[in-house]
């Protein structure tokens, strides 16, 4: 049956890669299978007409000051990051944009404060926007242990109950809700409060370290030089360096189980690989199918079947013939938050998308676009059905919103690529193109989080939303999930 491995990793997303790298560094004979010709999942990139374009839309919330930095240090690799100093938000109406408001660590109040007439357009109080970082940090004003009391309370419910104490104003509320939804890929009505509090604590800690570091002195948020794929590429280098093996363009058809224990895998090419340990980064539901539902008890199957996923992401990769902004990153928000949120929840097409998350990646790394051109990657989340939702019309709405922020931008577009639930389902075989397969909602965080270890001896799960004691956003969660699973295996599996 060929070589026996100490561990087999199924799926080359960041969680699978991180797990593989740590196991390989510790002398384990590992092999990782990835169905595509590149690793990294949504945190990967492709080339087109001189541009280097990300599949997903990312701003890394903790850069080298969080789990990415910890992992890279452990595996003796490095990635250079651009660090943000500003985070502008525009409120969007048919009549035009209002703002920008937001964070700027180089200003007197640490805030972006537009002319007074901008505040009057939406009846905002200018004082609300001063010292914005401190106002937003009110959501973390408690000890870590206390946050777990709020795990099963939706963030919107907690906010409504505490809004008088928080006293952050309607305008800042929109910024807060937008940050929540963009980070956790959930509506505030659905996501966990306790989880967000812990995430904000982690991110605040990273930003403090970032601002204190002499050569950085910026927010912890940033973007990798060389595009998103720079991070998985660094981890892949480490796996190869430590003697691990990566097989691409290969699907695992079956995880072999005998007498309640893992024995190996069978690929779509009919090849069998043996191991007593299999770590799956393909999603819990997909893992159960590969291992055979008949091998699991009803209680565990029920837990997996009941797992809720995040929103479906919709991303435009907009290549411009000339620059339209000096900003590295910005948000566009619908001015009527509650109405737009309801439209999103009901999977209807919005007039103005509730939140558009816009990294202008070529302003963070000029090598990602040909000289004199610009690349931005706006994204929006929705609950629209993978097949029935009018995805192309959503593209039009996003472009119209960009036009409000940047007049005449559509005349400067060289091309744009669409990437949504349909494309994600095709590329990654995801159930319905959800951004995160285990959402950070009540019942799925804290003590109720899905552990990596399954009831089957030797079978593990990794990925964003998987793993106990982890409160992170997106790529940081994935890396911690894989890293901590590997360390658990090294400690407990003989």
To which H or E segment does residue 33 belong?
strand 30-33
Same domain, 100 and 201: yes
Indicate the residue among 147, 181, 212 that finishes a domain.
212
| CATH, residue 350 | 3.30.70
Q: How distant, in Å, are the alpha carbons of 30, 32, 38, 60 from that of 486?
A: 11, 13, 22, 23
Shared-domain flag, residues 73 and 118: no
Concatenating the DSSP letter of every residue in 270-331 gives S-EEEES-EEE-S-HHHHHHHH-GGGS-HHHHHHHHTPPP-PEEEEEEEEESS-----SEEE
Task: Judge contact between 256 and 262, C-beta under 8 A.
Answer: yes
Taking only the tens of pLDDT, the chain with its 494 residues reads 567 999 999 999 999 999 999 999 999 999 999 999 999 988 999 999 999 999 987 889 999 999 999 999 999 999 999 999 999 999 999 889 999 999 888 887 788 898 999 988 888 888 888 888 777 877 777 889 999 999 999 999 999 999 888 888 888 888 899 899 989 999 899 999 999 999 988 888 777 767 666 566 678 889 999 999 999 999 999 999 999 999 999 999 999 999 999 999 999 999 999 999 999 999 999 999 999 999 999 999 999 999 999 988 889 999 999 999 999 999 999 887 777 777 877 778 888 888 899 999 999 999 999 999 999 999 988 876 666 778 788 899 999 999 999 999 999 999 999 988 778 777 766 556 778 889 999 999 999 999 999 999 999 999 999 999 999 999 999 999 999 999 999 998 76
Beta bridge partners of 97: 92
Q: How many domains does the chain have?
A: 3
Do 485 and 455 lie in a common domain? Answer: yes
pTM: 0.94
d(CA 405, CA 334): 12
What pLDDT score was predicted for residue 264?
97
Are 241 and 227 spatial neighbours (Cβ–Cβ below 8 Å)? Answer: no
Strand partners, 434: 312
Q: What is the pLDDT of residue 16?
A: 98
What is the pLDDT at residue 337? Answer: 73
- 152, part of any domain: yes
Going through 426-476 in order, the beta strands assigned E by DSSP cover: 459-461
Q: What is the pLDDT of residue 166?
A: 85
Specify whether 269 is located in the same domain as 357: no
Q: Would you state the pLDDT for residue 204?
A: 80
* 424, 341: one domain: yes
pLDDT of residue 445: 96
> CB–CB of 60/42 below 8 Å?
no
Distance CA 64, CA 355 (A): 27
Same domain, 206 and 262: no
- Angstrom CA distances, 206 to 70, 106, 289, stand at 12, 18, 39
- What pLDDT is recorded for position 347? 77
Distance CA 159, CA 75 (A): 41
Distance, CA of 50 to CA of 426 (rounded, Å): 25
Cβ-count burial 3-21 (b if 16+ within 10 Å, e if not): eebbbbbbbbbbbbbbbbb
Query: Cβ of 125: how many Cβ atoms within 10 Å?
Result: 12
Report pLDDT for 312. 84
Q: Are residues 445 and 458 in the same domain?
A: yes
Q: Can you give the residue range of the structural domain that contains 90?
A: 85-212
Residue with tokens 């008949």: 294
Q: Is 239 helix (H, G, I), strand (E, B) or coil?
A: helix
């Amino acid at each position: 049956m060929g070589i026996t491995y100490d561990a087999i990793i199924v799926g080359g997303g960041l969680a699978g890669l991180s797990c593989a790298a740590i196991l390989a560094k510790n002398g384990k004979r590992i092999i990782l299978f990835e169905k595509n010709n590149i690793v990294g999942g949504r945190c990967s990139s492709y080339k087109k007409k001189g541009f280097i374009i990300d599949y997903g839309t990312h701003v890394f919330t903790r850069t080298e000051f969080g789990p990415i930095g910890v992992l890279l240090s452990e595996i003796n690799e490095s990635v250079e990051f651009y660090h943000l100093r500003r985070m502008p938000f525009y409120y969007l109406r048919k009549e035009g944009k209002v703002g920008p408001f937001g964070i700027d660590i180089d200003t007197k109040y640490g805030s972006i404060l537009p002319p007074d007439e901008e505040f009057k357009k939406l009846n905002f109080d200018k004082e609300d926007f001063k010292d914005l970082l401190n106002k937003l940090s009110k959501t973390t004003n408690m000890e870590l242990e206390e946050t777990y009391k709020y795990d099963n309370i939706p963030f919107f419910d907690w906010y409504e109950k505490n809004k008088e104490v928080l006293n952050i104003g309607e305008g800042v509320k929109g910024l807060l809700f937008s940050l929540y939804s963009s980070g956790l890929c959930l509506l505030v009505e659905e996501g966990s409060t306790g989880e967000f509090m812990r995430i904000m604590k982690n991110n605040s800690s990273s930003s403090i370290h970032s601002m204190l570091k002499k050569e950085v002195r910026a927010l912890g948020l940033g973007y990798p030089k060389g595009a998103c794929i720079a991070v998985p590429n660094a981890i892949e280098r480490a796996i190869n360096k430590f003697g691990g093996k990566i097989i691409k363009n290969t699907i695992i058809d079956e995880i072999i189980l005998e007498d309640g224990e893992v024995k190996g895998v069978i690929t779509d090419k009919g090849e069998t690989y043996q191991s007593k340990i299999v770590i799956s980064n393909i999603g819990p539901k997909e893992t159960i199918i590969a291992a055979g539902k008949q091998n699991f008890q009803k209680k565990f199957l029920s837990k997996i079947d009941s797992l809720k996923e995040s929103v479906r992401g919709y991303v435009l990769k907009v290549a411009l013939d000339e620059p339209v902004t000096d900003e590295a990153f910005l948000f566009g928000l619908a001015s009527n938050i509650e109405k737009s949120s309801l439209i999103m929840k009901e999977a209807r097409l919005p007039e103005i998308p509730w939140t558009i998350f816009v990294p202008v990646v070529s302003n963070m790394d000029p090598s990602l676009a040909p000289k004199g051109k610009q690349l931005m990657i706006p994204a929006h989340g929705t609950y629209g059905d993978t097949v029935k939702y009018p995805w192309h019309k959503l593209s039009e709405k996003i472009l119209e919103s960009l036009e409000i922020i940047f007049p005449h931008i559509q005349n400067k577009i060289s091309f744009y690529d669409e990437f949504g639930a349909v494309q994600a389902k095709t590329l990654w075989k995801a159930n319905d193109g959800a951004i995160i397969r285990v959402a950070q909602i009540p019942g799925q965080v804290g003590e109720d989080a899905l552990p990596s270890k399954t009831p089957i001896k030797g079978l593990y799960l990794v990925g964003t939303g998987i793993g106990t004691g982890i409160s992170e956003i997106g790529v940081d969660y994935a890396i911690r999930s894989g890293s901590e699973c590997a360390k658990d295996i090294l400690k407990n599996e003989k």
